[in-house]
């Protein structure tokens, strides 16, 4: 099958050349590489215009449309039967495509997740797919753990958008990334729609990429916290079974309490966020996220009717329970 690799670039002058160099070493090579420049202002667009490497198509957008809309531009232009989304702050192994295509030999598999390692700590997992908390917050499977623990192929919930393969026929049926999300959580929303439609995802451990974690906005920037919290609310309202939505005030309260424990003990994500931004900035980002999330709630609830569903609510609840992440792991693990 022909693989079209979409690389969305926004201000990636320092990382994009390494990403494209690694793609040039893939065996087998991609059918095409489509770089979508998302209104960059750091000189990376000028560099890209002058770069003459073969098999690279370039699309230049006047403004930053966000992760979802920018990638959708590339997907619509793609010719391949398989779409691979790849962050510009990654480097891929030579067998990245080949190992993923071996996993796609099963016609019942329509999404493939890579083994994503930390660029500066390649012995450490960045993620191997994702796990989901019952209120819509999600985190990479295996984040921060030794890479050797994740050498076995297995079914997972959905792939991380920093390096993911999707059958184009699946996207044609369920739709592309939700552009209202703008940034963060779009891969989760797409994966949940695919799961509702009966599509499966597998983890291909020999399909390896190396990722500069949170090279865009920064790992705990208030703006990132805002998008993550707003979009997890929208993700829940748009794609979760009604019973989980009804109990979400309790699960979210539990998650916030565990974040408080993180602050008190100096362990985990909340503690790290407290080192990077003031408490007022973090609280302000969360309150703003809730305000905008609730304003957009009617639209997300209306969108629940817009995608195909071939599994029941009970089946989805069992699927989310199977790939659930605990509040402790979500908040206290690095």
CATH number of domain containing 197:
3.90.550.10
Whether the model clears a pTM of 0.85, i.e. scores above it, the answer is yes
Q: What is the mean pLDDT of residues 71-88?
A: 98
Task: Give pLDDT tens digits for 20-47.
Answer: 999 999 999 999 999 999 999 999 999 9
Confidence of residue 219 (pLDDT cuts 50, 70, 90): low
| pLDDT surpasses 90 at 185 | yes
Q: How many CB atoms lie within 10 A of CB 165?
A: 29
| pLDDT surpasses 90 at 107 | no
- Last residue within a domain, chosen from 184, 211, 238: 211
* 3-class secondary structure, 308: coil
Largest separation between any pair of C-alpha atoms in the chain: 55
Q: Between β-strands 82-87 and 3-9, what pairing exists: parallel, antiparallel or unpaired?
A: parallel
207 and 242 co-located in one domain: no
Task: Give pLDDT tens digits for 234-281.
Answer: 999 999 999 999 999 999 999 999 888 887 777 777 667 667 778 888
More confident residue, 102 or 107: 102
313 and 244 co-located in one domain: yes
| pLDDT surpasses 70 at 142 | yes
Mean pLDDT of the chain: 93
Q: Is residue 305 part of a domain?
A: yes
Task: Tell me the percentage of the chain whose pLDDT exceeds 70.
Answer: 96
143 and 203 co-located in one domain: yes
Total number of domains constituting the chain: 2
The residue segments making up the domain with residue 77 are: 3-211
Confidence of residue 216 (pLDDT cuts 50, 70, 90): low
* 3-class secondary structure, 334: coil
330 pairs with which residues across the strands? none
240 and 104 co-located in one domain: no
């Amino acid at each position: 099958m022909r693989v079209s690799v979409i690389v969305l670039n926004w201000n990636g002058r320092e990382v994009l050349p390494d990403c494209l160099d690694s793609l040039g070493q893939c065996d087998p090579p991609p059918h095409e590489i489509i770089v979508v420049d998302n209104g960059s202002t750091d000189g990376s667009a000028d560099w890209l215009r002058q770069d003459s490497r073969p098999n690279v198509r370039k699309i230049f957008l006047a403004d930053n449309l966000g992760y979802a809309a920018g990638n959708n531009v590339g997907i619509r232009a793609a010719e391949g039967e398989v779409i691979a989304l790849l962050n510009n702050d990654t480097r891929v192994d030579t067998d990245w495509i080949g190992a993923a295509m071996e996993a796609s030999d099963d016609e019942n598999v329509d999404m493939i997740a890579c083994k994503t390692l930390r660029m500066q700590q390649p012995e450490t997992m960045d993620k191997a797919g994702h796990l989901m908390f019952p209120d819509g917050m999600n985190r990479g499977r295996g984040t921060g753990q030794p890479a050797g623990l994740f050498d076995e192929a297995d079914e997972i919930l959905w792939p991380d958008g920093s390096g993911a393969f999707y059958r184009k026929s699946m996207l044609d049926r369920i739709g592309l990334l939700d552009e209202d999300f703008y940034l963060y959580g779009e891969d989760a929303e797409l994966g949940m729609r695919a799961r509702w439609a009966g599509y499966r995802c597998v983890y291909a451990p020999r399909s390896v990429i190396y990722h500069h974690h949170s090279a865009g906005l920064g790992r705990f920037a208030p703006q990132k916290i805002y998008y993550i919290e707003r979009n997890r609310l929208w993700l829940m309202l748009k794609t979760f079974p009604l019973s989980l939505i009804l109990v979400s005030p309790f699960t979210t309260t539990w998650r916030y309490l565990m974040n408080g424990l993180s602050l008190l003990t100096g362990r985990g994500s909340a503690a790290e966020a407290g080192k990077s931004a003031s408490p007022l900035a973090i609280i302000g980002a969360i309150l703003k996220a809730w305000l905008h999330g609730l304003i957009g709630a009617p639209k997300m609830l209306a969108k629940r009717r817009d995608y195909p569903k071939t599994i029941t609510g009970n089946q989805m609840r069992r699927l989310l329970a199977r790939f659930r992440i605990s509040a402790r792991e979500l908040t206290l693990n690095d």
